[in-house]
Amino acid sequence: AKPLADCYDYDGAINLLSSSTYASDESVTAAIDEYNATKETLVRADPRKVTHVFFHTLIMDTSKAFDGDSREKGYNQVMTTKDEFMKILQSMYERGFVLVRLHDVAYEVTAEDGSRHFQEGDIMLPEGKKPFVMSQDDVCYYEYMTGQGFADRFVLDENGKITNEYTLDDGTVIRGSFDVLTILEDFIEAHPDFSYRGARGTIAVTGYNGIFGYRTSDYWYNWNCDYFDQQNADERQRMYYNNENIEADKAAAKEIAAAMKELGWTIASHSWGHIYIGSSSYGRVCWDTDMWEREVAPLVGGTDIIIFAFGEDLDGWQGYAADNEKFLYLKQKGFDYYCNVDASSEHWIQIGANKDYFRQARRNLDGTRMWEAVMSYTDSSYHNRLSDLFDARDIFDLARPTPVE
């Protein structure tokens, strides 16, 4: 019962003890009384004030990511280093943040007439605790990242536990905690009260170059094609990519996805081709969504969450219009949760006028955002959008090239 209580599931702890053969034991009844008393002190968190932070693949070796090549600038802007991530977790933990699921914030219920609508969740936490959601984009370990200071892929160890593989300069492959998921798992193991009822983060994947470090797609996305004709999608938007081990890669990726979900992680679509979903044509969005459904969903079990690539959204802040054909198509495909990027506010949540979708803005905790926060202390032209989470001066990795721009 203690692990349940440690992560605020007092009902679960009480029910477990009450139904056990030791229910009348003095120490058990005392524990039940203690959990009931603690439960009475919990307060409901405001679901409209839940912040959502996100990361990309973590930089494990700054000397490789920041080596002056053509990719250095992009890595510096949008990636976070391992040291920064670990310091961020510690700071947020010390400030009372508690990880919750996206589905804890709001969820769908069925009305008496059979219709379904979103309802705000009841997140019950001790006074002073603050719920937050975490996600990670592009958890695919693209081939272009090989040798750039990032993990290579996820694997299962001899005990069936998820771990990362990383290749050293001499070709030796080592295993360990080398990205968000594995590092966060270690942190929660040491600090179970950082997770609300076993909550974990959301992993967003594309599909064009596979997922989790496995080449599960037969096709590369043709980024250079501006014109889109859905009827000629095969010729115009795909280039054949031969992977002789594709079936083994698919099987491995499927095992990884199952292990993630067993731990409590959620998997989201990041579009198949990492497209600008707002400015892309309707036909292109339909084709791309169908590709994700065809190539990725069978491996991860499907999802009701889409996290927009580049942070681009389907419509303005006022809400999705009833005749927005892209939204209607995505809704038809089972997507109910829509996440963009907006670092201007601590939290921004919207439930559709008809309560038929949930929308949340996310905050990028990367080089660009941390550099702005660091500079804000000495230059008023910069904005600090991270002060509620941590002091960026204590987090910013000095191995980064500066300025970050």
How high is the pLDDT of residue 297?
97
Distance of CA 102 to the CA centre of its chain: 9
Strand residue runs (E) in 347-389: 349-351, 358-364
Q: How far apart are CA 352 and CA 318, in angstroms?
A: 9
Distance of CA 55 to the CA centre of its chain: 7
pTM, rounded to two decimals = 0.93
How high is the pLDDT of residue 220?
62
Residue 155's DSSP bridge partners are 163
For 175-216, how does the pLDDT look when each residue is reduced to its tens digit (9 = 90+)?
A: 999 999 999 999 999 999 999 999 999 999 999 999 999 999
How high is the pLDDT of residue 20?
84
Residue 384's DSSP bridge partners are none
Q: How far is CA 139 from CA 132, 142, 209, 346, 358, in A?
A: 20, 8, 11, 25, 23
Q: How far apart are CA 300 and CA 266, in angstroms?
A: 10
Res. 224: pLDDT tops 60 = no
Res. 306: pLDDT tops 80 = yes
- CA angle in degrees (0–180, nearest 5) for 386-73-309: 65
- In this prediction, residue 221 has a pLDDT band, given cuts at 50, 70 and 90, of low
CB half-sphere exposure, 294, CA atoms < 13 A: 12
Please give the average per-residue pLDDT across 327-338, as a whole number. Answer: 96
Q: How far apart are CA 382 and CA 404, in angstroms?
A: 12
Res. 232: pLDDT tops 70 = no
Reference 266, options 134, 77, 83, 70; nearest CA is 134
Res. 347: pLDDT tops 80 = yes
Res. 298: pLDDT tops 50 = yes
Provide the percentage of residues in the chain whose pLDDT is more than 90.
Answer: 85
Phi, psi of 340 (to 5 degrees): -115, -160
Provide the percentage of residues in the chain whose pLDDT is more than 70.
Answer: 94
- CA angle in degrees (0–180, nearest 5) for 392-397-398: 110
